[in-house]
A and B are shown apart, each in its own frame.
Chain A
Amino acid sequence: MFHGKPHESEISMADTITTTSPLKLLMSMIMTGFLVMSHSVFAKQDSKIGESRASHCYVDGLSEHLDCGFITVPEDRAKPNGKQIDIHYVVLPAIKNSAHSEAFLAIAGGPGQSAIDNAAGFSRMFSKIRQKRDILLIDQRGTGRSNVLNCEGEGFEGALSINEADFDVAKETQACLDKLDADVTQYGSLSALEDFEAVRQHLGYQKLHLYGISYGTRMAQLYMRQYPQVLSTVTIDGVVPMQQSVLAIGNAINRGFELLIQDCDENKLCGAQFPHLEEDLYKVDAELALQPAIRQVNDPLTGESTRLTMTRSKFMGAIRMALYMPNVRALLPHAISEAAKGNFQPIMGLYALTIDSTGIAMGMHASIVCGEDWQRLTQAERDAANQTYFGQEMITNFEKSCAIWNMPAVDPSFSAPISSDIPTLALSGQIDPATPPSWGELAMEKLTNAKHFIAPYATHGVANQSCGNDLIAQLVDSGSLEGLDKSCLDKDVRRNFYLNASTVEAIPSTEAAVQGASND
């Protein structure tokens, strides 16, 4: 589901970025793994809110006046007089300003994404809810404007030319830690939850409706465990169940790859155009695993001639990230097939998308993963993860970075399933390359008043791709799961795959002949 900006623009290109990048930010990927350091290097510069007055501001992508503010909390709650940090929030005020006793709190993913940076996306997605209720966005500690823990390395402008294998994860992690002015052990989910609750009290909301996407579902579940009395309804979208370490994502990513190949095979046009997709994928993967392909290319952004070191990491990473977005995913069969012919142009284009737009604060990301996911990984899970390329990369990298980050492990009770009777809607996308429907099922274990809907054609983040947002609006409005009808999620919204670099429609026969000839 793509919405352009509300204003009419003469040239459609004005919408170009909005159709891809905010969505991507909203994808709220679980970035865990090899991307940790290579991405931290290019992490986005924190953009400050343009605060005109103490309580009024504008955020990127929304033209209207919003209410902004912050509360000051001790970084370490055990030391109330120690270092203080500001937790920033933005309220998108309800259109119909009735009583402000309830708010809809949307929690971003990552871990490490800023909820405020995604305000435009949330506002668009939940416009129905906003008609009657405030939407509350909080930059979780360590992200966005709340003492962001970014890791910005130096001297890595040439993202295209580096070989990730030469990357010294331990050294970069140490350099990042040294630069951060923070006690990184205080940036776990539980401390952040106290901040959320403090913001709620500060703003005087009696009840909250929660929406968590991706990692945000963990925060939502913790909220259910710690403060059930203040919650009216909960929606978890792209579920990370408490019982699950996110480091098991390797299998989910593999599943995403397999579903892509299957989808293309089953599609008449795609299957005919790319009959050897699976072989192509594994052929390129195997070749790049042996040695990277070196190409002289034009930089996607500057157009300057530059060297591209196409590594396995770039190739697989670009495909993985494209799997998050249904529209970009459609380009993958063409991109893989071109790569098999030695043309890495489309893959480079996809990779360029991932370079600096994930908006993830990698320091905060590490605090979460190292404290809550790394240490609970059993030997069996570790072995299982090592079976997949992505799992293996993550294990190797977190082994090094978590040793330096030195997070104390959370209590084992942290991983217990949530038991609750709060009306809870769990949403999973069938082709989600991060949090598969089985994870959503796991979260349901002890929820007594919950429904789990699986959207057959959605990737990560069902609310953004289907009628999921309408279902949430209905849940928030009625306060109960009764009458929620999942049939609208089953509407076939699948789009065609790209058959060449230009079209998604069947190529007319003469064209097909030319195409076939040029391919030979």
Chain B
Amino acid sequence: MMSNMMTMLRKELIDAARDKRSVMAGLYYAIGTPLLMCGMFMLLIGQMSSPEDLNIKIENGERAPDLVKYLSSQGITHGDDQDKSLDVKDIRLIFSDDYAAQMAKGLSAEVTLVADNSNEKLQNSIRRLEKNLQTYSAEMGSLRLIARGIDPRVVQPIKVNVEDQATPDSKGGVILGVATMTMIYAVFISGMNLAIDTSAGERERNSLALLLSHPVSTRNIVLAKVLAVTVFAMLGLLLTLIISKLSYSFVPWQELGFTVSISTNFILLMLLIGLPIAIMAASLQLFVSFMAKTFKEAQSYLTLVLIVPMMLSMAASYNIAPDTLQWLPVSGQQQALIAFIKGREIPMLQLLLSSLTTLVIALGLTFGMERSLKSEKIVFGL
């Protein structure tokens, strides 16, 4: 029985390896996604950070030469619109005409900041400008008090000490949470083409009936197919992890104040947790494909069906899910992974339960497939 199944599995894998399309589909995702993610993060980091020299439009700067000079010492200067070589941000700073007079009287001198706060590319620059204006104002405020013989500490009645319990690892956890989503998805994508090919495809090529007519039990055939797809899914996951580990080290995370790295422990845990998911993914994809009449139809069904695990995974990584979701397949495992990344305790009960549910679903689907393959309707796609 065992050797029988091994032969079947070998047959399935050889078949799959010959089918370049299945192999490439898995590879594309496994290699492409981590690289795409890295590129996206790099772009994002570059856009989010305010440039070293920030050029803005300062109007009536001659009314407040000291403040203009202060801003320039902080790298914020007036840039001429005409000069195309300069990257002048669309932020305007306007000094009121009574600036100096108000200042001299010890009153508040008015400065107007004009900018579009919904423009993500400007937000950091706007914040930087605001912070510098506040610092300047606070410094002058302190010195005005000192000049009047008052200790500036009296206007800071509350000093808030923040003790952030985040660890450097958990700060990067937000990013890795999104990354784990793409990794879990790799499990589903990598084996998908093979699943379709070995079920709907095989039927289209009329080799399914031939296979079933051999003296092999239907159960063994189904199990071999599930195993073959699982192996592909796991290989895809492993590849994704390895590519991620390599490519993530090139992203300048430190500019965000934390680091994201994929440890060997994480890889091992991911593979362990990924295995039941891969089995479920394989049986799910095979089951759906057998239901479809043609290769094309199987593809469109699967695309729809795959939205479900993706939603589960997304809900977990963006933390928008109700608590009950923790116990469901995919999202339960992913939450355990996120907990591991953030250095928290892994919720073992949830992990075990969701893994168990995953396996049960896989088993159910496999059983269903075995039964359906006994029906002529399915075998001949009638």
A interface, CB within 8 angstroms of B: 1-4, 7-9, 12-17, 19-21, 50, 58, 60, 63-65, 93, 95-97, 131-132, 297-298, 300-301, 303, 327-328, 330-331, 334-335, 344-346, 348-350, 352-353, 491-496, 498-508, 510-511, 515
Q: Are B259 and A96 in contact (CB-based, < 8 A)?
A: yes
Given contacts A9-B134, A97-B168, A505-B66, contact A19 B142 (CB under 8 A): yes
Chain A residues with Cβ below 8 Å from B253 are 95-96
Given contacts A2-B135, A13-B155, A65-B167, contact A508 B104 (CB under 8 A): yes
- Which of B27-35, B157-165, B223-231, B328-336 lies on the face that meets chain A? B157-165
A390 to chain B, nearest CB (A): 22
Q: Are B127 and A331 in contact (CB-based, < 8 A)?
A: no
* Interface assignment of B73: CB less than 8 Å from any CB of chain A: yes
The distance in angstroms between the C-alpha atoms of A474 and B292, with both chains bound, is 63
Chain A residues with Cβ below 8 Å from B156 are 13-14, 16-17
The distance in angstroms between the C-alpha atoms of A9 and B131, with both chains bound, is 9
The distance in angstroms between the C-alpha atoms of A349 and B149, with both chains bound, is 4
Q: Are B258 and A95 in contact (CB-based, < 8 A)?
A: yes
Of the residues B99, B139, B151, B162, contact of A352 by C-beta under 8 Å: B151
Which residue of the partner chain A has the closest CB to B158?
A14
Chain A residues with Cβ below 8 Å from B135 are 2-4, 12, 15, 19
Given contacts A20-B142, A345-B148, A505-B66, contact A95 B103 (CB under 8 A): no
The distance in angstroms between the C-alpha atoms of A335 and B146, with both chains bound, is 10
The distance in angstroms between the C-alpha atoms of A496 and B104, with both chains bound, is 13
Which residue of the partner chain A has the closest CB to B144?
A502
Q: A3-B135, A58-B163 are known contacts; what are 10 more A-B pairs with Cβ within 8 Å?
A: A13-B141, A16-B153, A19-B139, A64-B166, A97-B261, A331-B143, A352-B149, A496-B66, A502-B103, A511-B101
The distance in angstroms between the C-alpha atoms of A423 and B144, with both chains bound, is 44
Q: Are A16 and B142 in contact (CB-based, < 8 A)?
A: yes
Chain A residues with Cβ below 8 Å from B141 are 12-13, 16
Chain A residues with Cβ below 8 Å from B167 are 65
Q: Are A131 and B254 in contact (CB-based, < 8 A)?
A: yes
The distance in angstroms between the C-alpha atoms of A352 and B145, with both chains bound, is 11
Which residue of the partner chain B has the closest CB to A14?
B156
A517 to chain B, nearest CB (A): 14
A270 to chain B, nearest CB (A): 12
Q: Are B154 and A495 in contact (CB-based, < 8 A)?
A: no
Q: Can you name 13 A-B pairs with beta carbons within 8 Å?
A: A2-B139, A7-B162, A16-B141, A17-B152, A17-B156, A19-B138, A19-B139, A303-B154, A346-B148, A493-B73, A494-B69, A503-B104, A507-B104
* Interface assignment of B268: CB less than 8 Å from any CB of chain A: no
Q: Are A12 and B149 in contact (CB-based, < 8 A)?
A: no
B interface, CB within 8 angstroms of A: 63-66, 69-70, 73-74, 99-101, 103-106, 127, 130-132, 134-156, 159, 161-168, 253-255, 257-259, 261
B91 to chain A, nearest CB (A): 17
Q: Are B148 and A12 in contact (CB-based, < 8 A)?
A: no
Given contacts A96-B259, A327-B143, A506-B100, contact A12 B70 (CB under 8 A): no
Q: Are A501 and B163 in contact (CB-based, < 8 A)?
A: no
The distance in angstroms between the C-alpha atoms of A507 and B66, with both chains bound, is 13
Chain B residues with Cβ below 8 Å from A501 are 106, 144, 147-148
A299 to chain B, nearest CB (A): 8
The distance in angstroms between the C-alpha atoms of A4 and B141, with both chains bound, is 14
Of the residues B130, B162, B254, contact of A95 by C-beta under 8 Å: B254
The distance in angstroms between the C-alpha atoms of A367 and B205, with both chains bound, is 93
Q: Are B142 and A297 in contact (CB-based, < 8 A)?
A: no
Q: Are B140 and A504 in contact (CB-based, < 8 A)?
A: yes
Of the residues B64, B161, B166, contact of A60 by C-beta under 8 Å: B161
Q: Are B259 and A95 in contact (CB-based, < 8 A)?
A: yes
Given contacts A14-B156, A330-B143, contact A502 B104 (CB under 8 A): yes
Q: Are A334 and B147 in contact (CB-based, < 8 A)?
A: yes
Q: Which of A16, A21, A303, A507 has most B Cβ within 10 Å?
A: A16
Of the residues A17, A50, A65, contact of B164 by C-beta under 8 Å: A65
Chain A residues with Cβ below 8 Å from B152 are 16-17, 20
Q: Are B134 and A301 in contact (CB-based, < 8 A)?
A: no
Chain A residues with Cβ below 8 Å from B159 are 17
The distance in angstroms between the C-alpha atoms of A96 and B257, with both chains bound, is 9
The distance in angstroms between the C-alpha atoms of A64 and B165, with both chains bound, is 7
Which residue of the partner chain A has the closest CB to B258?
A95
B66 to chain A, nearest CB (A): 4
The distance in angstroms between the C-alpha atoms of A95 and B254, with both chains bound, is 6
The distance in angstroms between the C-alpha atoms of A63 and B104, with both chains bound, is 38
The distance in angstroms between the C-alpha atoms of A383 and B147, with both chains bound, is 37
Chain A residues with Cβ below 8 Å from B163 are 50, 58, 63
Chain A residues with Cβ below 8 Å from B64 are 505
Chain A residues with Cβ below 8 Å from B73 are 1, 491, 493
Q: Are B69 and A349 in contact (CB-based, < 8 A)?
A: no
Chain A residues with Cβ below 8 Å from B134 are 4, 9, 12, 15
Which residue of the partner chain A has the closest CB to B106?
A502
B43 to chain A, nearest CB (A): 19
Chain B residues with Cβ below 8 Å from A8 are 127, 130-131
Q: Are B146 and A346 in contact (CB-based, < 8 A)?
A: yes
Chain A residues with Cβ below 8 Å from B154 are 301, 303
B184 to chain A, nearest CB (A): 26
